[in-house]
A = this chain, B = another copy of it.
Amino acid sequence: MVNWNNFDKLNSYKRLAGLKGKVNLKEVMSGANGAERVAKYSVAMSNGMAYNFASKEVDDEVLDALQELADEAQLVEKYKELYNGAVINTGEKRLVLHQLTRGQLGDAVVSDGVNKRDFYVKQQERIAEFANKVHAGQIVNEKGEKFTTVVQIGIGGSDLGPRAMYLALENWAKVNGEFKMEAHFISNVDPDDASAVLAGIDVSKSIFILVSKSGTTLETLTNESFVKDALAKAGLDASKHMIAVTSETSPLAKNEGYLDAFFMDDYIGGRYSSSSSVGGAVLSLAFGPEIFARFLNGAAAEDETGKNADIRKNPAMLDALIGVYERNFLGYESTAVLPYSQGLSRFPAHLQQLDMESNGKSVNRFGEPVDYVTGPVIFGEPGTNGQHSFYQLLHQGTNIIPLQFVGFKKSQMANDVVIENSTSQQKLCANVVAQIMAFACGKDDDNKNKYFAGGRPSSLITGEMLTPETLGALLAHFENKVMFQGFVWNVNSFDQEGVQLGKTLAKKVLAGDTSDALAAYAKLLEI
Interface pair B520/A38, CB less than 8 Å apart: yes
A420-449, CB under 8 A of B: which get 1 and which 0? 111111111111111111101111000111
Q: Choose, from A100-108, A144-152, A186-194, the stretch at the interface.
A: A186-194
In the complex, A171 Cα to B197 Cα: how many Å? Answer: 10
Is A393's CB under 8 angstroms from B407's CB? no
Q: Which listed segment binds B: A114-122, A253-261, A498-506?
A: A498-506
Within A495-513, which residues are at the interface with B (CB < 8 Å)?
495-510
Q: List 17 A-B contacts (CB under 8 A).
A: A34-B517, A155-B384, A190-B424, A190-B428, A221-B419, A333-B333, A356-B390, A356-B397, A362-B396, A363-B448, A363-B449, A375-B393, A392-B496, A422-B510, A427-B510, A430-B510, A437-B521
Q: Is A53 an interface residue (CB 8 A)?
A: no
Contact A524 B462 (CB under 8 A): yes
Given the complex, which residues of B lie within 8 Å of A388, measured CB to CB?
A: 155-157, 159, 187, 219, 270, 353, 499
State whether the Cβ of A10 lies closer than 8 Å to any Cβ in chain B.
Answer: no
Q: Could you say which of A74-82, A309-317, A334-342 contacts chain B? A: A334-342
A39 & B520 in contact (Cβ 8 Å cutoff) = yes
CA A334 – CA B352 in complex, angstroms?
Answer: 14
Expressed in whole angstroms, the Cα–Cα distance for A37 and B229 within the complex equals: 41
A330 within 8 A of B: no
- A54-B434 Cα distance, complex, nearest whole Å: 45
Q: Which residues from B are CB-within-8-Å of A381?
A: 349, 352
Interface string of A353-369 (1 = CB under 8 A from B): 10011111111000111
User: Are B505 and A357 closer than 8 Å at their CB atoms?
Assistant: no
Check B393 against A498 for contact (C-beta < 8 Å): yes
CB pair A431 B502 closer than 8 Å: yes
Query: In the bound complex, what is the Cα–Cα distance between A222 and B222 (angstroms)?
Result: 45
Q: Report the bound CA distance from A431 to B344 in whole Å.
A: 30
Q: In the bound complex, do residue A525 and residue B409 qualify as a contact, i.e. CB atoms below 8 Å apart?
A: yes
A136 beta carbon closer than 8 Å to chain B: no
List chain B residues, Cβ under 8 A from A443: 501
Which listed residue, B187, B433, B437, B499, touches A527 by the CB 8 Å rule?
B433
In the complex, the answer to whether A396 meets B360 with C-beta atoms within 8 Å is yes
Tell whether A389 pairs with B156 under 8 Å between CB atoms, given A334-B334, A516-B31, A522-B433: yes
Interface size for chain A: under 10, 10 to 19, 20 to 34, or 35 or more residues?
35 or more
At the interface, yes or no: A87 with Cβ under 8 Å from chain B? no
Known: A392-B360, A409-B525, A516-B30. A450 touches B190 (CB 8 A): no
Option from B413, B433, B441 in Cβ contact (under 8 Å) with A524: B433
Bound CA–CA A38/B523 (angstroms):
10
A518 interface contact, C-beta 8 A: yes
User: Are A397 and B362 in contact, CB atoms less than 8 angstroms apart?
Assistant: yes
Contact A188 to B431, CB < 8 A, known contacts A226-B424, A390-B352, A436-B521: no
Interchain CB contact under 8 A, A434 and B191: no
Is there contact, CB below 8 Å, between A361 and B435? no
A30 contact set on B, CB distance < 8 A: 516-517
B395 touches A501 (CB 8 A): yes
Q: Does A142 contact B (CB under 8 A)?
A: no
Q: Top 9 A-B pairs ranked by shortest CB distance?
A: A360-B393, A156-B388, A34-B517, A434-B505, A38-B520, A360-B397, A353-B389, A395-B498, A379-B379
Cβ-closest chain B residue relative to A496: B392
- Chain B residues near A218 (CB-CB < 8 A): 420, 427
Which residue of the partner chain B has the closest CB to A495?
B449
As a 0/1 sequence over residues 21 to 33 of chain A, the CB contacts with chain B under 8 angstroms (1 = contact) are 0000000011110
Assess whether A268 is interfacial by the CB under 8 Å rule. no
User: Most chain-B Cβ atoms within 10 A of its Cβ — which of A32, A375, A391?
Assistant: A391
Q: Which of A52, A159, A193, A421 has the most CB of B within 10 A?
A: A193
